């Protein structure tokens, strides 16, 4: 079992459970805002640092790749530390990276600053998620993870537009604001999160889940479904041009906000359902629902109201998939939660990057409004992988109880 200091707020069964979860959610909100807001700041950054927009775009690419590679490695290296100390260390690096980014006088220094920021961000989500698991009882685990991951989700619906609004005055102010969020999260964690130590296990035991087919299957499904969803999300502005053309200036913002609200609602719905129902069934429902929503997107993106409603429902399936996949991972091996959450973060960010690339390549052969079709194929593959894993599990159970007959 995890060791939580007795009597502290947030110990399992505490009436003040939400208190320590809020700064964890704020930490993931800061990470998500930092990751997603940069795309909207690229023109201003390029002009300020006197580089091309494609060159400035490499700041986003380097951040994502560094995070994807570093997340499982650093999560494993920091796993012997109690969760509060691990989060403090990660947030210090994250804040320093954002301060360095805001002060960057030229492109090379800013590139190095983004790498530093990514190294801090790499373990925040994993450490926050594993801390949430440690301080909650098993029957409330899904809802706790939904709240923490909800911070990441809220960053797309609220953090990204607010960051771009601040950036319209000065892009450097956005980075200062993100750094301030990191400081507030660190203070909140110091005040409300109990000291949580993960079970003392050997290196072999911590790495054991990597030999399980179920873990690899879940990570593969996560990568595929994220690639499918973000192949569309990356180009949603271009896809909905017909719907937003001639409408009020904030029409696209309304669609994106509806998507973000849907994702947030899906997070909490999945957290509740995963605590009450078999997680595999919830996962299949979310993946299959997302597949259908992507497949019908060509029928929805030409009308503003329909596109907005579609985006909200589609976002809900995306949010459900994110939470329930993490829930399934931690159920396999709670003692290896930091490593598993780190690998899950890698799968998510690689999927996001892959989705953007595949979405761009698909436009060479398809109309932009049909982009949801190849995206649905990726989501269908994720559903098939998950269904196959569940079927194999059920067959194994049947085989285990079948009587043996003499030949």
Tens-digit pLDDT profile for residues 365-379? 888 889 899 999 999
Does residue 150 sit in the same domain as residue 221?
Answer: no
pLDDT at residue 402 in the model: 42
pLDDT at residue 241 in the model: 85
pLDDT at residue 393 in the model: 60
Domain count across the chain: 2
Going by C-alpha positions, the residue among 335, 196, 334, 304 that lies closest to residue 242 is 304
Does residue 194 sit in the same domain as residue 281?
Answer: no
How wide is the angle at C-alpha 50 spanned by C-alphas 45 and 54, nearest 5°? 65
Does residue 188 sit in the same domain as residue 285?
Answer: no
Tens-digit pLDDT profile for residues 277-310? 888 899 999 999 999 999 999 999 889 999 999 9
Going by C-alpha positions, the residue among 116, 137, 123, 127 that lies closest to residue 84 is 127
Query: Bigger pLDDT: 77 or 22?
Result: 22
Mean pLDDT calculated for residue range 224-236: 87
CATH number at residue 300: 1.20.1250.20
pLDDT at residue 270 in the model: 86
Does residue 165 sit in the same domain as residue 77?
Answer: yes
pLDDT at 249 over 70: no
Q: Which of 175, 198, 221 is where one domain is finished?
A: 198
Q: Which of 198, 227, 256 is where one domain is finished?
A: 198
Q: How far is CA 311 from the centre of its chain?
A: 18
Q: What are residue 365's phi and psi, to 5 degrees?
A: -120, -15
Does residue 171 sit in the same domain as residue 218?
Answer: no
pLDDT at residue 397 in the model: 47
Q: How far apart are CA 38 and CA 55, in angstroms?
A: 13
Does residue 115 sit in the same domain as residue 47?
Answer: yes
Q: How does the average pLDDT of the chain come out, rounded?
A: 82
Domain that holds residue 354: 205-396
Tens-digit pLDDT profile for residues 4-35? 543 444 444 444 455 788 899 999 999 989 98
407 within some domain: no
307 within some domain: yes
Token pair of 34 as six digits: 């930092």
Does residue 41 sit in the same domain as residue 181?
Answer: yes
**Percentage of the chain lying above the pLDDT 90 cut:** 32
Sorted by sequence, the CB contacts under 8 Å of residue 209 that are 6+ apart come out as 215, 332, 333, 336, 339, 340
pLDDT at residue 404 in the model: 44
Q: Give the confidence band of 94 by pLDDT, cuts at 50, 70, 90.
A: very high
3-state secondary structure (DSSP) of residue 11: coil
Tens-digit pLDDT profile for residues 130-159? 788 778 777 777 778 778 877 887 887 778
pLDDT at residue 202 in the model: 56
Q: How far apart are CA 298 and CA 359, in angstroms?
A: 14
pLDDT at 363 over 50: yes
DSSP string across 103-154: H--SHHHHHHHHHHHHHHHHHHHHHHHHHHHHTS-GGGHHHHHHHHHHHHHH
């Amino acid at each position: 079992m995890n060791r939580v200091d007795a009597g502290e707020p947030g110990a399992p069964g505490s009436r003040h459970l939400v208190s320590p979860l809020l700064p964890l959610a704020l930490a993931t909100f800061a990470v998500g805002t930092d990751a997603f807001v940069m795309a909207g700041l690229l023109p201003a950054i390029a002009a300020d640092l006197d580089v091309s927009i494609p060159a400035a775009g490499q700041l986003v690419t380097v951040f994502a790749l560094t995070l994807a590679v570093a997340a499982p490695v650093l999560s494993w290296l920091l796993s012997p530390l109690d969760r509060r100390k691990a989060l403090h260390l990660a947030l210090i690096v994250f804040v320093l990276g954002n301060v360095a980014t805001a002060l960057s006088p030229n492109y090379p220094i800013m590139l190095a600053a983004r790498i530093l920021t990514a190294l801090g961000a790499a373990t925040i989500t994993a450490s926050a998620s594993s801390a949430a698991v440690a301080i909650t009882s098993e029957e409330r685990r899904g809802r706790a993870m939904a709240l923490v991951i909800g911070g990441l989700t809220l960053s797309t619906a609220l953090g990204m537009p607010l960051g771009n609004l601040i950036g319209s005055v000065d892009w450097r102010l956005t980075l200062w604001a993100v750094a301030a969020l990191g400081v507030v999260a660190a203070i909140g964690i110091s005040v409300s999160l109990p000291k949580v130590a993960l079970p003392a296990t050997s290196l072999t035991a911590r790495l054991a889940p990597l030999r399980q087919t179920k873990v690899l299957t879940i990570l593969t499904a996560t990568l595929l479904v994220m690639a499918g969803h973000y192949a569309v999300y990356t180009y949603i502005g271009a896809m909905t041009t017909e719907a937003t053309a001639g409408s009020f200036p904030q029409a696209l913002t309304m669609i994106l906000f509806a998507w973000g609200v849907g994702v947030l609602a899906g997070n909490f719905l999945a957290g509740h359902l995963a605590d009450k129902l078999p997680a595999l069934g919830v996962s299949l429902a979310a993946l299959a629902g997302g597949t259908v929503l992507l497949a019908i997107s060509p029928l929805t993106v030409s009308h503003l109201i329909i596109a907005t409603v579609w985006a909200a429902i589609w976002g809900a399936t995306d949010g459900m998939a994110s939470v329930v996949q993490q829930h399934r991972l931690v159920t396999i091996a709670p003692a290896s939660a930091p490593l598993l959450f780190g690998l899950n973060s890698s799968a998510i960010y690689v999927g996001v990057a892959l989705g953007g690339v595949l979405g761009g390549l698909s436009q060479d052969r398809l109309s932009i409004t049909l982009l949801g079709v190849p995206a649905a194929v990726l989501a269908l593959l994720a559903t098939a992988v998950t269904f196959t894993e569940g079927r194999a599990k059920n067959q194994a159970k049947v085989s285990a109880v079948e009587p043996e007959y003499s030949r």
